[in-house]
Chains A and B, each alone.
Chain A
Amino acid sequence: MPSPSRRVLPGFGLALGYTLVYLSLLVLLPLGGMVLKASQLGWGQILDIALGERSLAAFRVTFVSSLLAASINAFFGLITAWMLVRYSFPGKRFVDALVDLPFALPTAVAGITLATLYAGNGWLGSHLEPLGLKVAYTPLGIVVALTFVTLPFVVRTLQPVIEDIETEVEEAAASLGASRWQTFARVIFPAIGPALLTGFALAFARALGEFGSVIFIAGNLPLVSEIVPLLIISKLEQYDVLGATALAVMMLAISFVLLLTINLLQWWAANRYRNSEPLEVAAGKAQGVSA
């Protein structure tokens, strides 16, 4: 039943109808079609494909490197966000704007650049390889590429939350005798914990599906440095459409679980503190309207 206030503004039916039709055609039907296609195989066979030696290795490489990249970003992202909110230093606005570079720079550009930097004769690789650290064309290269691509998530999720911490709370803790470290560990960290986890989950979700930046630096050796999206493509190129679809359905299921987790995390964060962040952090950050 439409409430009176709903009737005052026009265009509800048109706007919602258009939205639903558009989403159905562009998202629901294609995704449904893929699940339907995979169901020709049956779930047993899908699992067989997904748990085959090569796919299992690809899933392991993808998961481990995504976890590592998200962890690196959680650690350095926390420091970066803290630094950008609390400290002042020359060029801060420039640095702040630069954090979004990975969202703006096409992944293929990031891929060839990182591969060149970390190759044996590159600026960084030539210093790392004498130390026994081979990055390009190894699984470590995948971690580097994923770290670059997902860098903004943790920083951009944390920044507004750190901005919102009332200094009074820290003063209260201090006046009750807490050391600075105790204040951080017991007051500040619990306050930003949910946001940190959300940023971590966003970075992890993005890293799992990433393709363009990784393939240039990974070496793409089956069983060693081959990621799932690449395996999907190589199955497609061998006209193994069903095999590719089976892997894609697995990836889709994982995406759904992660999306659900992220929504729950955001709901948790929003209900503890008044600021909630939309999923696309870069987008939400700029609003500042709710302040």
Chain B
Amino acid sequence: MSTDKLTRATQEPAWVRVALLTIGLGFLFFFLGLPLVAVFVEALAQGLPAYLEALKEPETRSAIWLTVVIALAVLPFNILFGVAAAWAIAKFDFKGKSLLITLIDLPFAVSPVVAGLIFILIFGAQGWMGPWLADHDVKIIFAVPGMIIATLFITFPFIARELIPLMQSQGKDEEEAAVSLGASGWQMFWRVTLPNIKWGLLYGVILSNARAMGEFGAVSVVSGHIRGETNTLPLHVEILYNEYNAIGAFAAASVLALLALVTLVAKTVVEWRMKAETDMLNAELPGEKTS
């Protein structure tokens, strides 16, 4: 049959398929699967009690706490910036828009170490604002505020990057309808825009949160590594590892690895929800929408 011939011509021979699957899955096994398993195996190498004991260390606890504090501190800034930037870029036309988008992408291309350094040059002892800060007894570098600022630099693009294409694809008909029916700007935002972008926003929050909690390079440069004070969990992993405290290091690392797994699951669930909603919309008449 000619269809059979076509199928053969548009699909790889069976042995090629098996070979490609073996290579692909083998690559992922050695580079992703094995490291993921190894984190937990190393953490539990001396049994569960030793693992739990390692997590009870006060310095590990304070590192977990600081990681959460920094992640929570940057979140409102990132949400506000992401929504504002996406609103301006997706719903309006103006000159220099593509330059602005490139600027938002910049932190993805800048080395985290450079990102930390630029804030040392501003707030550090010999930096532009250093003497003034010293006079007023404000500590930013080698203290939590500097770590928050560095994390902001690293994470601010995630939500904007997520919302811009989403809001562009949604167009502005619904918002224009709301405004022409007399809705105020805030009413339009809370009742029309926000429900439309909620999944995309959540997706961006998940991505930026994972990065905020896991950031190492930028935070490391500005932290000063003061134990119990400016140690986030990733930085604490480094300290314990360099002290040959393998159980402690991998116990702390396993907490971060669990966080990564939760991130992946949450991300996948949100992806399904977004896809389901898009499919539902596509099935309806264009322009119509259920709340």
* Residue positions of A touching B, CB distance < 8 A: 3, 5-6, 8-12, 14-16, 18-20, 22-23, 26-31, 33-34, 37, 76, 79-80, 82-84, 87, 89, 93, 95, 97-110, 112-114, 116-117, 123-124, 147-148, 151, 167, 170-171, 173-175, 178-180, 183, 205-206, 208-212, 216, 228-230, 232-233, 236, 241, 244-245, 248, 251-252, 255-256, 258-259, 262-263, 278-280, 282-284, 286-291
Interchain residue pairs with CB less than 8 A apart (22): A9-B91, A15-B87, A16-B92, A26-B152, A76-B24, A80-B24, A83-B21, A95-B28, A105-B214, A112-B238, A117-B34, A151-B32, A180-B16, A209-B110, A210-B217, A229-B112, A230-B113, A233-B221, A236-B117, A245-B121, A248-B118, A287-B200
CA distance A108 to B254 in the complex (A): 11
Stretch in contact with the other chain, from B47-55, B132-140, B268-276, B283-291: B268-276
Please tell me if the beta carbons of A100 and B267 are within 8 angstroms of each other in the complex.
yes
- Nearest CB in chain A: distance from B103 CB, A: 6
Please tell me if the beta carbons of A180 and B9 are within 8 angstroms of each other in the complex.
yes
Please tell me if the beta carbons of B28 and A30 are within 8 angstroms of each other in the complex.
no
* Residue positions of B touching A, CB distance < 8 A: 5-6, 8-13, 16-17, 20-21, 23-25, 27-28, 30-36, 38-39, 42, 80-81, 84-85, 87-89, 91-94, 100, 102-114, 117-122, 124, 126, 128, 149, 152-153, 156-158, 161-162, 164-166, 169-170, 172, 175-176, 179-180, 185, 188-189, 200, 203-204, 207, 210, 213-217, 220-221, 233-235, 237-238, 241, 246, 249-250, 253, 256-257, 259-261, 263-265, 267-268, 270-271, 274-275, 278
Tell me whether A9 and B172 are in contact in the complex, defined as CB-CB below 8 angstroms, given that A108-B237, A259-B109 are known contacts: yes
Please tell me if the beta carbons of A183 and B35 are within 8 angstroms of each other in the complex.
no
Please tell me if the beta carbons of B17 and A87 are within 8 angstroms of each other in the complex.
yes
Other-chain residue from B42, B169, B256 in contact with A289 (beta carbon distance below 8 A)? B169
CA distance A116 to B241 in the complex (A): 10
Q: Give the 10 A-B CB pairs with smallest separation, nearest first.
A: A209-B111, A106-B214, A174-B9, A212-B216, A10-B185, A211-B217, A104-B260, A229-B113, A30-B118, A15-B88
Please tell me if the beta carbons of A233 and B274 are within 8 angstroms of each other in the complex.
no
Other-chain residue from B92, B100, B257 in contact with A6 (beta carbon distance below 8 A)? B92
CA distance A228 to B249 in the complex (A): 26
Please tell me if the beta carbons of B85 and A19 are within 8 angstroms of each other in the complex.
yes
Closest B residue to A262 by CB, please name it: B109
For the residues of B in contact with A, the DSSP-based class is: helix
Other-chain residue from A11, A178, A205 in contact with B109 (beta carbon distance below 8 A)? A205
Other-chain residue from A29, A179, A286 in contact with B271 (beta carbon distance below 8 A)? A286
CA distance A83 to B254 in the complex (A): 30
CA distance A124 to B92 in the complex (A): 54
- Nearest CB in chain B: distance from A254 CB, A: 9
Other-chain residue from B12, B31, B38 in contact with A151 (beta carbon distance below 8 A)? B31
Please tell me if the beta carbons of B110 and A102 are within 8 angstroms of each other in the complex.
no
